[in-house]
Amino acid sequence: MNKANLSNKARLFFSKVAKIKLRAKLFFAIFLVVLIIAIVSSPEKYISVALKGILIWGTQILPALFPFMIFTKLLVETGYVKEASRLFSPMTKKFYHAPGISSYVFLMSILSGYPLGAKLTSDLYSGNYISRAEAHRIVSFTSNSGPMFIVGTVGVGMLLSKQAGYVILISHILAALINGFIYRNYSPREITLEKKFKPKIKTEDFLTETMMSSISSCLLIGGYITIFFIVGEVLLSIGIFSPLTWLFENFGIEKSLSNGVIIGLFEMTGGCLLISGSAACLAVKTALCSLLISFGGLAISFQAFAFLKNFEVSKKFYFLQKTTHALLTFLICLGFGFLLL
């Protein structure tokens, strides 16, 4: 009798899960239809938005990212990186429970920016340099933006203050180091992952193979940035966030700030652009931009998932560690901002 009851409960549970999945698919289909209708009804507007996304990718992200992708891949494959990283091994093992090579990933991530940290972590896991648990821990402090975007694009270009850019950069890096320490004991449930066999590439073909892989990765990043620029603009246009912005306005928060934060959760560049145009003081605008940069938005998250899928990164863990990184950066930046700006 008890077994029968358990069986019925199990069927009921799986039936509810199936219904939730069906509703989610229906909601997603309706959302896609709304996107298509919005784009068709005002094509010139969304062509302009798409061009803005492509322009930011082509002028700010591609020049900073493409060379690093090629050279870091070559460095990892030579094996010298692992040897050089032994110097930092005692420190990374003590503070982050991660091998010394994680210091190299961290350095490259803060020099080049999103999503190089995710790509390098994926490359190291594929090359059997790190375990799945170590890969998760490394992700918690190497998912970072770079100085060209933070200081150049956001600081100088949007906030019109190089000092504000440096405040964000320092806060972002400090928060990443603290974030990694918080998750140093994280150990996901181990699962057996079958690694695909990779045929050995001839030395004369290796540069070409690396180049093709880097080009493909950069195009993927550009695609995500452009799509999320369009999605954010559509969501603003149809007024889906109007009740939320109205609520914020009742608490004295101006529309450009609330819209900027909301859009930044989808695509951080567009969100920072909206925040920079608000009438708020520079310290507040800087802190909010730092929040969005450290969280990265869904556009950055999808880019990361594309690279981290080979060790099945826990999405709950990924979003949890990005949320804590964002909150830490915001608090540090707000303190620095009121002191220095």
Q: Is the per-residue pLDDT at 275 higher than 70?
A: yes
- Lowest-confidence region among 60-69, 100-109, 202-211: 202-211
pLDDT 10s digits, 101-137: 899 899 888 888 888 899 889 988 988 888 899 999 9
Residue-level pLDDT at 53:
83
What share of the chain in percent tops pLDDT 70?
A: 85
**What CA–CA distance (Å, rounded) separates 179 from 142?**
10
Q: Is the per-residue pLDDT at 194 higher than 60?
A: no
- Lowest-confidence region among 234-238, 265-269, 280-284: 234-238
If one compares 159 and 82, the residue with the highest pLDDT of the two is 159
If one compares 201 and 291, the residue with the highest pLDDT of the two is 291
